[in-house]
Structure 1
Amino acid sequence: MNSLSIKNLSKTYENGVKAIDNLSLEIGNGMFGLLGPNGAGKSTLMRTIAALQEPTSGIIEFNGINILENPMFIRENLGYLPQEFGVFPKISAYRLLDHLAILKGIINKKERHDQILNLLNQTNLLQHKDKAVHSFSGGMRQRFGIAQALLGNPKIIIVDEPTAGLDPEERNRFNNLLSEIGESIIVLLSTHIVEDVRDLCTKMAIISNGKLILEGNPNDAVDSLKDQIWMKAIHKNDLKDYKNNFNIISSHLNSGKLNIHVFSDQRPDSGFDLISPDLSDVYFNVLSQNQLKK
């Protein structure tokens, strides 16, 4: 059983921006979802866990080892798919994986060959092994990114915004792959796409402005909003008036009408219908509550 322990972590950049603010998390095997809006501090946290930058203060331990004092320990056990995954032009998938495997210390040629073919097969790219990676579609490139992250049999994988820009079919294929991987190691999924966390993760955290504002099981978080989410279809020109009178947590257009979701212990007015909450309601509600505290 692997464990990642983050204690009182903070990161302040030289320009004064506090990207992580006294954040603590305990993460074990399986899929862990890290949700937050753009600029919440997710990518900073991922880079810090991956020992690509040092925090201002705090402790990170992986399997009992302080990785701030021993960064090579996490690097030897880590697979990382960053948000921006660049590739060399005109190099085939097999050759690029072979090059990356050597960099990861897989010196034995047969071992390297066998592992590369297994990973290409696992990511459904074996038939494309001789094609240049830069010619791959977005979904194929993301699956290749997972293949390179799995080189060397890591015990923890970090994926940063992996499904952004993918079409629904590729997103489902990629999420199924992540789910299979997460059965025996830690997979830390950083995203702003709520559906990915709902579909994949048994544990999650929501951060905003570098602070942890919710942690737990997604289903438990949804259950906590039972009988408290109300919906009404309004004209979009009336949105300002409703914002002044009700605790609107989200709104979206549907068939030309604006559907608003309101958090309330009782019916806001006669035009509202009680609905079953989902993880999006949890996400927007905790972000809304956090904004009110400022």
Structure 2
Amino acid sequence: MSATASLDGVSKTYGRTTVVRPITVDVRPGIVGLLGPNGAGKTTFLRLLSTALPPTTGRITIAGFDVTASHANRVAARRRLGYCPQEVTFPRGLTAFEFVDYIAVLKEWRDTGARHREVRRVLDLVGLADRPAMKVSTLSGGQRRRLAVAQALLGAPELLILDEPTTGLDPEQRASLRGLLSGLAGTVLIATHQTEDVSALCDRVLVIDAGVIHFDGTVPELLATAAGRVHLGPAASRGAVQTWKTGTGLVRSVGGQPAPDSSVVDPSVEDAYLLLRSAERTTQGVV
């Protein structure tokens, strides 16, 4: 399956600070989850891929267009992608419909009738069809987040890039968004701290830290790295990465030497992520 987007030796440096180290990776159709701690380079990675930032080195290709080669190629690529950043600034005084319509105009939807039909379509997709006339300022935080996702869905993009799309959503809204994303064609790249979203949605996982991709594989492959290393018992495992007392009164331990009478339990994506992060910190000499 051909890649929707490719990064070849792509890095980003601000002065003497390197935020993303040279990365070479293909992003193919399906849903890809991007995990990493705060400051890992996730948002910069997404901004590079969305063409919002130029790379310091390397080449980025989106839908067959080398966006680092020319302005014309960047424009052509932008017509084929949708981007929802982590923080969205809404123009003052606009209604939900007017905001998405404004973005559609920027995306060169010149036919008013077709544009308005598309605006209504994406508002319906995110569950805001009954609120087109509401001022954005009166919407709840979760509704504004869904509105931000709606503008990224305009034109059914080949590449959809979402930075923390479920932030501020309640469990029902999060489940609804998962249903929407799982039914989309094309390629979806999601940066998130919600590991349950990754396990529920993603065909592939990238784990990034300090601007470097440390894991690239499927969810089962990520879980396999933690097999046999998560325990449930009356006491914490010695040397565990993390432990906590569960609602059953037993202690769940991620990594370490299991305490007596502990049993092995199936790992979650969060468990595997914590163990991977611990290994990275050990390799980097961080205590």
Does the alignment reach a TM-score above 0.5? Answer: yes
Contact 1:250 1:262 (C-alpha < 8 Å) held by counterparts:
yes
Aligned match of 1:185? 186
- 1:148-159 aligned at under 5 Å gives the runs 148-159=151-162
The 5 Å alignment of 1:130-149 reads: 130-149=133-152
Deviation at 1:121, TM superposition (A): 1.8
Contact 1:106-1:152 within 8 A present in 2 as well? no
Q: Which amino acid aligns with 2:270?
A: S
Structure 1 residue 167: Cα displacement? 1.9
Q: Which residue of the partner structure matches residue 279 of structure 2?
A: 289
Matched letter for residue 130 of structure 1: A
Cα deviation for residue 277 of structure 1 reads 1.1
Name the SS for the 2:183 alignment partner: helix
The alpha carbon displacement at 1:263 in A equals: 2.6
1:122 to partner: Cα distance: 1.9
SS of the equivalent of 2:181 reads: helix
Partners of 1:197 and 1:211 lie apart in 2 by 19
- The alignment partner of 1:43 has SS state of helix
The match for 2:5 is 4
Q: Which runs of 5+ in 2 are unaligned?
A: none
CA distance in 1, matches of 2:98, 2:280: 48
Pairwise CA RMSD: 2.1
Describe the SS at the equivalent of 1:221.
Answer: helix
The aligned residue for residue 277 of structure 1 is 267
Which residue is 2:96 aligned to?
93
Q: Is the 8 A contact 1:30 1:185 kept in 2?
A: yes
Query: 3-state DSSP class of the match of 2:258?
Result: coil
Distance in 2 (alpha carbons) for counterparts of 1:9 and 1:259: 43
Aligned length: 280
Instruction: Give yes or no for the alignment of 1:47 onto 2:47.
Output: yes
Distance 2:137 2:31 in 1: 29
> TM-score with structure 2 length normalisation?
0.90
Q: Is the 8 A contact 1:249 1:281 kept in 2?
A: no
Give the secondary-structure state (helix, strand or coil) at the position aligned to 1:110: helix
Which amino acid is 1:194 matched to? Answer: T
Q: C-alpha distance in 1, partners of 2:77/2:253?
A: 42
Structure 1 residues 258 and 82: alpha-carbon distance in aligned structure 2, compared to 1, 3 A threshold: farther
Change (3 A) 1:55 1:253: farther
Please tell me the residue identity of whatever aligns with 1:272. S
Following TM superposition, by how much is the alpha carbon of 1:260 offset from its aligned partner in structure 2, in angstroms?
A: 4.6
